[in-house]
Amino acid sequence: MRVLVTGGAGFIGSNFVHQTLATRPDAEVTVLDALTYAGSLRSLDGVLDDVRFVEGRVEDGALVDRLVGEADVVVHFAAESHNDNSLASPGPFVQTNVVGTYELLEAVRRHDVRYHHISTDEVYGDLALDSPERFSEATPYNPSSPYSSTKGASDLLVRAWVRSFGVEATISNCSNNYGPRQHVEKFIPRQVTEVLDGRRPRLYGDGLNVRDWIHVDDHNSAVWAIIDRGQLGETYLIGADGEVDNKTVVETVLDLMGREAGDYDHVTDRPGHDRRYAIDWSRLRDELGWQPRYRDFRSGLAATIDWYRTHEEWWRPQKSATEARYARSEKVL
Ligand code: NAD
Ligand code: DAU
């Protein structure tokens, strides 16, 4: 099977490439990635010789057309992915997330190629902390940030191309991923690398916001289950019952790294900060028989901390520019 992976030098996409090559001997993988600030060939260390790597943008219609024409399935991870960046500068999010998805959809339509669209639970907005509710495939879209609204827009394009043009597509909306090779701008790698550098973690606002954590390898095994057995035209939510508030995450990181539980700062809150995400993933379990492998967040976090401890050469080049960006808007409360 010839698999075109967009965004395969980013966090989830590169882990998808590693998992695919390790578990699917029939897969011939092509990666299309623009190598933005968020992409790195270092994330493909150990497998670069086993894939075809093409540097380019998903908005480049001619390039996308050629690569899609040479594929049996397209898995579209490429995106501008960070909420804070979308608040500072939304333009690239519209270009990559909306226009890029449009170009891919037109190419899979022309070439009649199976398409899987990677999306986020953030398209559903947020939930109250005290609500028993979780997001399901039937939850109405209600995105809060420029990032999540462009992801929502891209999902709606996919749905329209399925209905109007019969494109063979599936969509997955996953909760917050953690694991190796995640950029240090994101919450967990940022705090872990701050502690490694002898500084204090930073919690936005009151720190009580809840995210529903899933290990990146579980996300990616669910994506393969959907490609293999999912119903065309359908959406599947991916989660792993991992609800934890941010303060608890930081305290666990500090504990695992041998620091005092209260050794962190509260800083300026994110504008429009979603309060809580929670995923009902029963459709994936009941229809496709999928189960997550990482059930214990603390031990998954400990393994992730170890990865950052032993891969400083991977994250160090990103670190000072990332912290300089945060320093422009962040104040200790
Ligand atoms: P990431 O920012 O780590 O990686 C994005 C990759 O896409 C990078 O390699 C980057 O170079 C590439 N890219 C960006 N713009 C591009 C363009 N115009 N053309 C080609 N390549 C481009 O992102 P991630 O966290 O790995 O997220 C991957 C996908 O998963 C995204 O679609 C995101 O919305 C979705 N998602 C992420 C999470 C999460 O917790 N990180 C959860 C659910 C869904
Ligand atoms: O839910 C899925 C989404 O998860 C994905 O679609 C996004 O691509 C991914 O970035 C992630 O979005 P979040 O905004 O939830 O992730 P982030 O890592 O930016 O922040 C997680 C939580 O931690 C959030 O409540 C904000 C908070 N935070 C973040 C940073 C960087 C802090 O308290 N301190 C920080 O320094």
100 CB within 6 A, ligand 1:
yes
Go through 300-320 and write b for each residue having 16 or more CB atoms within 10 A of its CB, e for each that does not.
bbbebbebbeeeeebbeebbe
Is residue 75 situated within a structural domain?
Answer: yes
| Pocket lining: 188 vs ligand 1, CB cutoff 6 Å | no
Q: Is residue 303 part of a domain?
A: no
**Which atom of ligand 1 lies nearest, measured to the CA of 35?**
11
The domain that holds 171 is classified in CATH as: 3.40.50.720
DSSP letters for 204-218: ETTS--EEE-EEHHH
Domain boundaries, position 140: 2-177+213-238
Average pLDDT score over residue span 221-234: 98
Q: Mean per-residue pLDDT for 212-228?
A: 98
Report residue 218's pLDDT band, with 50, 70 and 90 as the boundaries: very high
Is residue 291 included in any domain, yes or no? Answer: no
Ligand with the closest atom to the CA of 244: 2
- Within a domain: residue 106? yes
The pLDDT tens digits of the residues spanning 173-212 come to 999 999 999 999 999 999 999 999 999 999 999 999 999 9
**Residue 132 CB-density burial (10 A; 0-12 exposed, 13-18 middle, 19+ buried):** exposed
Domain assignment of residue 270, yes or no = no
* 175 Cβ below 6 A of ligand 2: yes
Active centre residues (catalytic): 121-122, 147
Residue 215 Cβ < 6 Å to ligand 2:
no
**pLDDT tens column, 113-163:** 999 999 999 999 999 999 999 999 999 999 999 999 999 999 999 999 999
Return the percent helix, strand and coil in the chain, to nearest 5.
45, 15, 35
pLDDT attached to residue 283: 98
Kindly report the protein residue whose alpha carbon is nearest to atom 20 of ligand 2: 187
* pTM of the predicted model over 0.80: yes
| Domain presence at residue 257 | no
Residue 65 maps to a domain: yes
User: How many structural domains is the chain composed of?
Assistant: 1
Sign of CA dihedral 328, 330, 331, 332: negative
CA–centroid distance, 29 to ligand 2, in Å, is 29
Looking at the domain assignment, is residue 100 inside a domain?
A: yes
